Structure 1
Amino acid sequence: MADLQRTIDAKEAAASNRKERLPELEMLRGLAILGVLTVHATSSAVVAVQNSWVRDAYVALNAFSLFCVPAFIFLTGFVLFYNYAGRPMSWSGLGAFYVKRLKQLVVPYIWVSLGYELAASALKHRSWEPSDMLGRFGKHALNGGAYPHLYYVIITIQLYALFPLLLLVFRKLRLPAAAAVPLGFAVQWAFYLLHLNVWHLEAKGSWSLTYFAAFLLGAYGGMRPNALKSWLGIGEQSRGRGGKLRFALGAALWLAAAAGFLRMHVAYRSGGAVPEGYWFEIGYNLFTLMTTLMLLGACIQLGNGRKARKPAAALADLGALSFGIYLVHPFFLLLYHRHPPASATPLIYHLWTAGGFVFALGASLLVLLPAHRYVPGAWLVLGPAPAKFGPKPKAEAEEEAAADVRLQEATE
């Protein structure tokens, strides 16, 4: 009887710790990966197109899409604190946390880095001496240098390493969730000023503290999701004039931040006058955070709309596959950009640029979907398979096979 009661208590505790599913997070992740693809697909056009309104349009599109990495980091903070802030963290739990992250993040990162390292060695005619290759690979594995986009994985590894310490700080000091927001800005700007005036780091963007405001803003959202919705002027608590006013104020601030940052970015790329001092850093910080919050609000509204179920589901599916897409899409863009259009006609060039986006996304999905479903061990390179796209459960597969047999017998 005692064993039975303990089992019931354990099940009840597990149920109480089970968090409500938030599909808007996967939808925001889907928008973020589209932003990554846009940045990379337009990067060559930003340089190649001559100064004109067309180039300004490319620069603005490229700059607007820069919200993507802070959005991913916001989501990392949100998910970690949402899932773990209410749980006790024992030494065994801490070990399980790191083992899970090692398996899901570090292992695919190492294999993908090796693949990009070999590809770069072949394309750039580097030395194939084992000692030279091992030396390069070891250095690049530590700093994400095997290919430019892999710096983001290094940042995520740093954040996973810091997370238990941050959680301990919040618990021991009994900090309110709202303290996460000013703390994130304080740490990020202290790091930025130290870099600018003392350290002069070679690759500031490869350090997680560069994005700490986004991470701890996500932490606040994870600990207080309903309060974040209230901030945005959406959700049950935001109905009425107060919610509409907050939403309008947030939208106005976002539009102002976006207009200011994009204007500075376009002027800088075109050789125009730009403000001196910290304005670029301030503009980037405010624009990316405000864009992330506004897009999160849009995802919540989209998920609640009955007429938008298919777009919402498509975005959520894209978000579920985003890590694999992030890892492999530069390889397809690299192949695509090795075959520029023969014609110099502007229209052909613009179509070719847009085609890079479509090709990178389509080719990534064509690799990921069958690999996750049918290739054992694909997670070693592509990351963990989302439940929806992973191997089918044995019972389901057997039922489908039986249905196929019945269909064949009925039609013979």
Structure 2
Amino acid sequence: MQRRAKLTEIDFVRGIAILGVLMVHSTSEATIDMKTSGLYGIYNFLNIFSKIGTTSFILLSSFVLFYNYYPQPFTFAQLKKFYRNRLLYIIVPYLVFSTLYFLHRWRLNKHEWSLPDMWPSFWHKVLTGQAYTHLYFVFISIQLYLLFPILLYLFKRFKWLAASAIIVGVVVQWAFFLLNREYWQVDNRGSWSLSYFGQYFLGAWLGIYFDRIRSWLVIAKESATVGKVISWCVLWAVWLSAGLGYVWLFYQSRVHRTMFSNALYDGLWDAYTMLTPIVLIQVAFLLRDKMKSSLWVAALRQLGIVSFGVYLLHPFVLFYYRQHPLHGGPGYMQHLWYAGGFVCALLVSWLVVYVLSRLTNLSWILFGSVPAQLEAERAKRKREAGNSVTPGTVSG
């Protein structure tokens, strides 16, 4: 069976998701240090409303896998290729950056450089996704890649399971939340894939049934009906309400030390992070037609292509940026300094990933499939440019 067409719109969603990650990390210190500022509500909003990165990437990963593999027979040869690609393009960069960040933290903590002490600590952190604060996402992704062939088989074997994937995912996720709270009390709950089964199974459902629901996802005047418009408004209203409610909880907790139940946090977080990728996919379809006419839209897609590399690298940029804090000066300078952290994390990481990916064929060791994606995009632009040249304009 022929593979489904590549959805370039997904790159826009990745671009927005990585902006969310950078915003969360660049405002994390401000949510602690700026509580007396009159703009603290803005910092809190940017920090919490932007918590869409990890969950969106998980949903997108699931969406792309099921979109590509579900319609086809999943052969043993495909299984070997699947795991080979994940080994080379996910696990290798994960191990490389885990090593770099582990050594970085070891040096900062001024531990003795003793291999017998370092080795057990290193492997414990690698095997639990704790070599650095952001690497838990890659650790979760590896868990989900291990599960993917099993879930793909079950969804193909039992059509009712595929049709009810969203319900099943949410039920499993919340069963884990409740059982963990009452009995297991697993450390670092957010580092385990069961915490994201709702998002993952929603992505699977979207990937499986995308051809059927695409016409509803695309917001277009020519295909709009009363029913569609109402459903779009309901989706966006519920999404915005859940997001703002989640922001409000944290503001009350951080500023007024108000205590809320874990179930309320989890409920609003789950609703917000499951609806966000759907909203972003709709936004991506709106942006698609502007890609050739808007430099900013084209840049957002380019950011989406390099997002994995930016994700892995940006904490180094933020760390060294924060080694040069402001001392005194007008109050607005502090706000500019925090904004500068976001800009540097974005631009420096983006530039380094892009340049290294173009300079060396070995950059996949650091950034996985990013170099290949950049090269494919470059080749595509060349073909499009060649096809747009009329016969009468070719010289020589």
With normalisation by structure 1, the TM-score equals 0.87
- What does the per-residue CA deviation read over 1:142-171, in whole Å, with 9 as the maximum and x for residues that have no partner? 112111100000000001000101011112
Paired amino acid for 1:25? I
Q: Are residue 145 (structure 1) and residue 130 (structure 2) matched?
A: yes
Question: 1:311 offset after TM fit, Å?
Answer: 2.9
Match of 1:81 among 55, 66, 74: 66
Q: Are residue 18 (structure 1) and residue 3 (structure 2) matched?
A: yes
- What does the per-residue CA deviation read over 1:166-211, in whole Å, with 9 as the maximum and x for residues that have no partner? 0111122233643111111111111111111110011000001111
User: Equivalent residue for 1:95?
Assistant: 80
Contact 2:326 2:334 in 1 (8 A): yes
User: Equivalent residue for 2:93?
Assistant: 108
Contact 2:18 2:53 in 1 (8 A): yes
Question: 1:52 offset after TM fit, Å?
Answer: 4.6
User: Equivalent residue for 1:61?
Assistant: 46
User: Equivalent residue for 1:384?
Assistant: 369
User: Equivalent residue for 2:264?
Assistant: 279
Match of 2:187 among 174, 185, 202: 202
Query: Does the C-alpha gap of structure 1 residues 165 and 119 become closer, same or farther in structure 2, counting only changes over 3 Å?
Result: same
User: Equivalent residue for 1:234?
Assistant: 219
Question: 1:393 offset after TM fit, Å?
Answer: 9.6
Contact 1:181 1:217 in 2 (8 A): yes
Q: Provide the identity percentage.
A: 38
Match of 1:374 among 356, 359, 362: 359
Alpha-carbon distance between aligned partners in 1 of 2:378 and 2:292, rounded to the nearest angstrom: 31
Q: Which runs of 5+ in 2 are unaligned?
A: 383-396
User: Equivalent residue for 2:386?
Assistant: none
Paired amino acid for 2:144? L
Contact 2:156 2:162 in 1 (8 A): no
Question: 1:236 offset after TM fit, Å?
Answer: 9.2
Aligned-residue CA RMSD in angstroms? 2.3
User: Equivalent residue for 1:403?
Assistant: none
Contact 1:78 1:218 in 2 (8 A): yes
Contact 1:320 1:386 in 2 (8 A): no
Count, aligned residues: 381
Alpha-carbon distance between aligned partners in 2 of 1:392 and 1:74, rounded to the nearest angstrom: 23
- What does the per-residue CA deviation read over 1:204-261, in whole Å, with 9 as the maximum and x for residues that have no partner? 0000111111111111111112444455463699522121111111122122212221
Match of 1:185 among 166, 170, 179: 170
Higher mean alpha-carbon deviation, 339-348 vs 363-372, is at 339-348
Q: Aligned ranges for residues 260-275 of structure 1 at < 5 Å?
A: 260-275=245-260
Contact 2:166 2:205 in 1 (8 A): yes
Contact 1:254 1:290 in 2 (8 A): yes
User: Equivalent residue for 1:404?
Assistant: none
Higher mean alpha-carbon deviation, 279-288 vs 297-306, is at 297-306
Alpha-carbon distance between aligned partners in 1 of 2:21 and 2:74, rounded to the nearest angstrom: 34
Alpha-carbon distance between aligned partners in 2 of 1:115 and 1:290, rounded to the nearest angstrom: 35
Query: Does the C-alpha gap of structure 1 residues 345 and 228 become closer, same or farther in structure 2, counting only changes over 3 Å?
Result: farther
Contact 2:292 2:298 in 1 (8 A): no
Alpha-carbon distance between aligned partners in 2 of 1:391 and 1:335, rounded to the nearest angstrom: 33
Alpha-carbon distance between aligned partners in 2 of 1:335 and 1:42, rounded to the nearest angstrom: 15
Contact 2:364 2:370 in 1 (8 A): yes
Question: 1:37 offset after TM fit, Å?
Answer: 0.4
Q: Which entry has the higher C-alpha Rg, 1 or 2?
A: 1
Contact 1:24 1:299 in 2 (8 A): yes
- What does the per-residue CA deviation read over 1:85-104, in whole Å, with 9 as the maximum and x for residues that have no partner? 01212223212211111011
Higher mean alpha-carbon deviation, 289-298 vs 66-75, is at 289-298
Q: Are residue 159 (structure 1) and residue 144 (structure 2) matched?
A: yes
Q: Are residue 291 (structure 1) and residue 276 (structure 2) matched?
A: yes
Paired amino acid for 2:3? R
- What does the per-residue CA deviation read over 1:330-363, in whole Å, with 9 as the maximum and x for residues that have no partner? 0010111111112253211111101011111111
Alpha-carbon distance between aligned partners in 1 of 2:157 and 2:4, rounded to the nearest angstrom: 23
User: Equivalent residue for 1:327?
Assistant: 312
Contact 2:41 2:251 in 1 (8 A): yes
- What does the per-residue CA deviation read over 1:302-326, in whole Å, with 9 as the maximum and x for residues that have no partner? 1134785433321111011000000
- What does the per-residue CA deviation read over 1:43-77, in whole Å, with 9 as the maximum and x for residues that have no partner? 00000012454112111110001111111111011
Instruction: Classify the secondary structure of the residue corresponding to 2:324.
Output: coil
Match of 1:355 among 334, 337, 340: 340
Contact 1:51 1:270 in 2 (8 A): no
Alpha-carbon distance between aligned partners in 2 of 1:272 and 1:392, rounded to the nearest angstrom: 49
Query: Does the C-alpha gap of structure 1 residues 130 and 136 become closer, same or farther in structure 2, counting only changes over 3 Å?
Result: same
- What does the per-residue CA deviation read over 1:91-128, in whole Å, with 9 as the maximum and x for residues that have no partner? 23212211111011000110111111111111210121
